[in-house]
Amino acid sequence: MASVERFLDRRLKLKVNTQKSAVAPPHRRKFLGFSFTNEKTPRRRIAPQAVARFRERVRVLTMRTRGASLAQIAKELSLYLKGWRGYFGFCETPSVLRRLDQWIRRRLRSIVWKQWKRGRTRFAELRRRGVGHDLAAQTAGSPHGPWRISNSPALAIALPNAFLASIGLASVVPAKAA
């Protein structure tokens, strides 16, 4: 590292940012938001820092106390997701993208649960969307918070992935090549 730094400084007259520069195995470094797995045959993956920035941006766009309709939130979120997928969609670790997709859908279900506010409204909405009487009553009367309930079977039935896609939610998982 020292010899490369000397060469860049003396011969090419370039300044080296020592905080950003390092010599390390590829799986420990990131470049343009990507990194590599530490396997026998390395695969291109999204760098952990890029995933953290993505999660933070999605948290801002999907705050439960925002006061926007689900369709409006999905529309704004989809703009960001499409751009992000365009850049990071060709990573070779699709499980990361699937987990992020599940997390986003869970956040949206949490928003809907918070918007329904009261037990009676929650019960009526769950019933209207095809959830059985007992499951709807049990879920609507639950003392648990929106995040915990967003992972419940009742909300998965009431707000399936197809419904979220129908209101305009884009996926970060790229469509399979035909």
Q: How confident is the model over 72-93, as pLDDT tens digits?
A: 999 999 999 999 999 988 888 8
In a domain, 66, yes or no: yes
Q: What's the domain count of the chain?
A: 1
The pLDDT assigned to 177 comes to 44
pLDDT higher than 80, residue 5: yes
8 A C-beta contact, residue 127 and residue 140: no
* pLDDT tens digits along 15-62: 888 777 777 777 777 778 888 888 888 888 898 999 999 999 999 999
27 within domain boundaries:
no
Domain of 162, in residue numbers:
48-166
Tell me if 82 is assigned to some domain.
yes
Q: Under 8 Å CB-to-CB from 24, ≥6 apart: which residues?
A: none
Mean pLDDT, to the nearest integer, of 114-131?
95
The per-residue b/e assignment along 75-112, b for 16 or more CB within 10 angstroms, e otherwise, is: eebbebbeebbeebbebeeeebbeebbeebbbbbbbbb
Assigned domain for 88 exists: yes
Kindly state whether residue 157 falls inside one of the protein's structural domains.
yes
State the pLDDT confidence band at 153, using cuts at 50, 70 and 90.
Answer: very high
150: which residues sit within 8 A by CB, 6+ positions away? Answer: 106, 107, 109, 110, 113
User: CB under 8 Å to 125, separation ≥6 — which residues?
Assistant: 116, 158
Closest CA to 172 of 111, 110, 107, 99: 99
Single out the residue of 156, 119, 151, 125 nearest to residue 138, CA to CA. Answer: 119
